[in-house]
Amino acid sequence: MSAPQVPNPGFVALVDAAKTRISEIDIERYKAMVAAHDPHALIDVREESEFAAGHVEGAVHLSKGVIERDIEAKYPDKNTKLVLTCGGGSRSAISADNLRIMGYTNAISLKGGWRALKVSGLPIE
């Protein structure tokens, strides 16, 4: 397994700017949402190979490369609570910001992403 890449400054700036405009939750708040049966969709925006290697049970795969194209067919109600996850919270933040621009009112990025989910105790597939 290769070492994680160090993000480029432009990417970091893009993510930081997106995070000023979106909602984020941490893994504990997400687990509380699941435990309370709070209606939502968990959307994994990682690449197909990352998703195939492991994901939270019931997660929907809409990679960052296609989410904007496909989201309206899958979730036409723009008030649907969408919790977006990726590897660590950067790609999900950018995706949540794009969905916000598209009119989605409840797109939330999960801080820590897959790294937090895989040790959360939630069922993994």
* 108 in Cβ contact with 25 (< 8 Å): yes
CATH number of the domain that 66 lies in?
Answer: 3.40.250.10
* 70, HSE (Cβ side, Cα atoms, 13 Å): 11
Of residues 110, 107, 118, the one with CA closest to residue 55 = 118
Tell me the C-alpha distance between 5 and 125, whole Å: 25
User: Does some domain include residue 77?
Assistant: yes
- What average pLDDT score do residues 51-70 get? 96
Q: Report the greatest alpha carbon distance in the chain.
A: 40
pTM of the model: 0.93
User: Does some domain include residue 1?
Assistant: no
Tell me the C-alpha distance between 92 and 98, whole Å: 10
Q: What percent of the chain has pLDDT over 70?
A: 97
Segments forming the whole domain that contains residue 107: 9-117
